[in-house]
Amino acid sequence: MIVKETLKLLKTALMLLLLLSLITGFIYPSMITGLAQLLFPWQANGSLIKQHDKAIGSSLIGQSFNSPQYFWGRPSATTPYAYNAGSSSGSNLGPSNPDFLATIKNRVEHLQKSDPRHQRLIPVDLVTASGSGLDPDISPLAALYQVPRIAKARGLSESEVDKLIQHLINNRTLGILGEPYVNVLELNLALDDLQHRQGSYDNSTTP
């Protein structure tokens, strides 16, 4: 009697698991996929930016920039190289870890050396790794900090680069939510574009 009851219960449970798996695990994601592809195809497929029909990046996934004429993004802790989108990760280094503090010090010194004006305080987001390792953005201040270096490397005036940043700042949603930021890839594409229009600079070379 008890065995029979338990078997009945087991059958119900198994059948219910199958049905609910079908509904929540296949029908629901497929419906969302269908609707998303219909309504928001660009977003649902990774917000890819295309140039001459070739994808050159996702506006949501950061890329690594370290040459002086580009804006630099956040340091990235992904392995084995920075901004590896196949393996998102933060550094998970603790605030008092001596290795961590040494790393921060190196980054600060590197920035100070690269800055023609030297004496300014460093924006914290330029020396700390992001949570995902793929952060596409920096704070407006971190972008403004890089203006002298970029202007010098590209032979542009500082006010031109400055204007570019002001133009691309994303403010808080509804004036309240989140933080203001600028997208590094957008900034760099705009920089190349600006230089291209001025025609004075070949953007394919990297020093």
Partner 1 sequence: MTEMGIFQITFYLLILLALVVPLGGYMARVYEGKPCGLDRCFGPLERLIYRLCSIKPEQEMNWKGYLLAMLIFNILGLLAVYAIQRLQLFLPLNPQHFTNVSPDLAFNTATSFASNTNWQAYAGESTLSYFTQMSVLTVQNFLSAATGMSLLIALTRGFIRREAKTLGNFWVDLVRTVLYILLPLSFLLALILTSQGVIQNFKPYQKITLIQPITYQQTLVDSSGHSKTETRTITEQIIPMGPVASQIAIKQLGTNGGGFFNANSAHPFENPTSLSNFLELIAILLIPASFCYTFGKMVKDKRQGWAILFAMLILFIPLASAAIMAEQQGNPAFTQMGVDPTPQPHLYPAGNMEGKESRFGIVNSALWATATTAASNGSVNSMHDSYTPLGGLVPLFMMHLGEVVFGGVGSGLYGMLMLVIITVFIAGLMVGRTPEYLGKKIEPFEMKMASIAVLVMPLLVLIFTSIAVVIPMGLGSIANPGAHGFTEILYAFSSFGNNNGSAFAGLNADTPFYNILGGLAMLVGRYWIAIPTLALAGSLVRKKIIPPSPGILGTHQPLFIALLIGVTLILGALSFLPALALGPIVEHLLLWKQYGH
Segment 170 to 199, residues that bind partner 1, using CB under 8 A: 171-173, 176-181, 185, 188-189, 192
Counting contacts by CB under 8 A, is residue 138 touching partner 1? yes
Which two structure tokens, joined as six digits, stand for 145? 């900090």
Counting contacts by CB under 8 A, is residue 155 touching partner 1? no
134 Cβ partners below 8 Å, 6+ apart? 61, 62, 76, 78, 83, 85, 88
Binding residue for partner 1, selected from 3, 4, 68, 92, defined by CB under 8 A: 92
- Closer residue to partner 1 (CB): 25 or 155: 25
Q: 51: which strand partners?
A: 54
Counting contacts by CB under 8 A, is residue 157 touching partner 1? no
**Is 51 strand, coil or helix?**
strand
The least CB distance from residue 178 to partner 1, in Å, is: 2
Counting contacts by CB under 8 A, is residue 166 touching partner 1? no
Residue list 96-115, contact with partner 1 (CB under 8 A): 96-98, 100-101, 104-105, 108, 112
Return the residue matching tokens 């594409």: 189
Around Cβ 74, how many Cβ atoms within 10 Å? Answer: 25
**Is 70 strand, coil or helix?**
coil
In whole angstroms, how far apart are CA 105 and each of 38, 69, 125? 49, 23, 13
- Closer residue to partner 1 (CB): 144 or 164: 144
Q: Are 136 and 72 in contact (CB under 8 A)?
A: no
Q: Are 126 and 111 in contact (CB under 8 A)?
A: yes
Binding residue for partner 1, selected from 68, 85, 167, 202, defined by CB under 8 A: 85
Binding residue for partner 1, selected from 33, 157, 198, 200, defined by CB under 8 A: 33
- Closer residue to partner 1 (CB): 68 or 152: 68
Counting contacts by CB under 8 A, is residue 7 touching partner 1? no
Q: Are 70 and 191 in contact (CB under 8 A)?
A: yes
Residue list 115-134, contact with partner 1 (CB under 8 A): 121-125, 127-134
Counting contacts by CB under 8 A, is residue 153 touching partner 1? no
For residue 84, which amino acid is it?
A: N
Counting contacts by CB under 8 A, is residue 150 touching partner 1? no
